[in-house]
Amino acid sequence: MATGDSKEITPKDKKTGKTLIHEHIPLTGSLISGTYVVSDADENVKNYSHGMFQSVYDYPYLSSSANHIFDVTCGFSAHSSFSASTPGTQQEKKINIYNQMAQVLAGYDHTGSILRFDVGGSTIDSGDKMDEVYFLNFSRLLVKDEIKKGTFQLELGISGGFDFGAVHSRRIKLTDRSGSDGYKVNSPAGEYGVLFAQTSYDGDSTLSTALLGNETIGEVQSYLPAGLIYYQAGVAVISGSVFGGASSSLGAGAFFNGAANDGGQAICELGSGLSASGVQMFTGSTIQAACDGLRNRIYNIQFNNTTELNSAIYFCRVNHNEFNYSSNPTYVSGGQINVKNNSDDISTTYITTVGLFNAQNEMLAVAKLSEPLKKTPEDELTIRVRLDY
């Protein structure tokens, strides 16, 4: 009921809704590596004294304009063949990174053991596991509430030799092609999907040569699982064997079905002066060197993010006998209503603002009309107020 110039809103006058807003996020390889190179150092890539990951920025990271894009790191499982009796470079840190990310993203089995990353996303401690992986942890600035399912793409150069001029001359693309309807929900970090690899560029415009084992160009069924994408967490887990092949001697987790990548040629050299050893460099190189190798082979990353916008819609109903008089002191002058020219004129008000109050009469929100709305005893109005949060 009306009390002065306020009125209680009943439950039937309120409706809630949800809107999903998407932005397209393109990240080119030139931005990730090479845009701000000075004296052989990437000024938009920050390395830390602990040496456990790198942070990539869109400007030199010391600039006040710099925005954090993503972190990149790598690691391998204690089950990997790289976990030898003779410790390699930063071996303990690499195993700890793998275990930390697996705890957060994959969880634990019924015995309390940490689950390993599975090429098909399975939580059963058997089958093909990704024991040597890279991690791309995207900034919340880009991901917002989540990565939109079915939109993630990561294109990598897989030419054998390490040459900036030719590193992208042959490329594969990882996509979550089944993300919109084939994602999984059994992760502590939320929903996730499988990333599938396919040839995206074979060196010419015809795209006739498959660069992956058992792949047939154009046949979706032949695309190979190459990693996982965690949508709400904004983390991509990439199998290290995208840079390996039949001769890489990888343990469980190699997904090329026994065939070398790069059309059967040498596996990828991930750094200047290193042998073409693919992910084998995990054993003798630092995490920073491995991350540099990955960044220098990223041709493009793109995805759509998602912002969940919740709304409460209030239908403010004004009956014919309500709000025809204003308590504003300027409404009356000398005992006369200012908007009346004659005593027999009908009472008229103009609605300009709607305020929303809680039960304690505390104002929570204010809505302004685009122009004053005339109200007389002959009119009934419904003002629709939308509150987004």
Please check the confidence at residue 25 and state whether its pLDDT lies above 80.
yes
β-strand partners of 317: 382
- Token look-up 């084992």 returns 213
Average pLDDT, the chain: 85
Buried b (16+ CB within 10 A) or exposed e, 267-280: bbbbeeebebbbbb
User: So what's the pLDDT on residue 275?
Assistant: 56
Q: Give the separation between CA 26 and CA 206, rounded to whole angstroms.
A: 25
pLDDT at 158: 85
pLDDT for residue 183: 84
Query: Distance between CA 331 and CA 95 in Å, rounded?
Result: 75
70-78 mean pLDDT: 95
State whether residue 75 is helix, strand or coil.
strand
Q: Any idea what DSSP says for residue 166?
A: T
Cα separation, 184 vs 190, in Å, equals 8
Calculate the alpha carbon distances from 181 to 191, 228, 282 in Å: 11, 15, 35
Q: Which residue has the tokens 């004296």?
A: 39
pLDDT given for residue 274 in this prediction:
66
Predicted TM-score (pTM) of this structure: 0.81
Going by pLDDT thresholds of 50, 70 and 90, the confidence category of residue 166 is: confident
Chain centroid, CA 91 distance in Å: 29
216-271 pLDDT, tens per residue?
888 888 888 889 999 999 999 999 888 874 433 443 333 443 344 444 444 788 87
Most confident stretch, 56-65, 85-94, 207-216, 324-333: 56-65
Higher model confidence: residue 2 or residue 116? 116
Residue 58 has pLDDT above 90, yes or no: yes
Task: Look at residue 280 in the predicted model and tell me its pLDDT.
Answer: 80
pLDDT at 381: 93
What pLDDT, on the 0 to 100 scale, is given for residue 214? Answer: 74
Please enumerate, as own/partner, the contacts of 166-171 that have beta carbons within 8 Å and a separation of 24 or more.
Answer: 167/296, 167/297, 168/29, 168/201, 168/297, 168/299, 169/201, 169/203, 170/201, 170/202, 170/203, 170/211, 170/262, 170/263, 171/199, 171/200, 171/201, 171/299
Say yes or no to pLDDT of 114 above 90. yes
What number is the average pLDDT over the span 83-91?
83
Q: Is 331's pLDDT higher than 90?
A: no
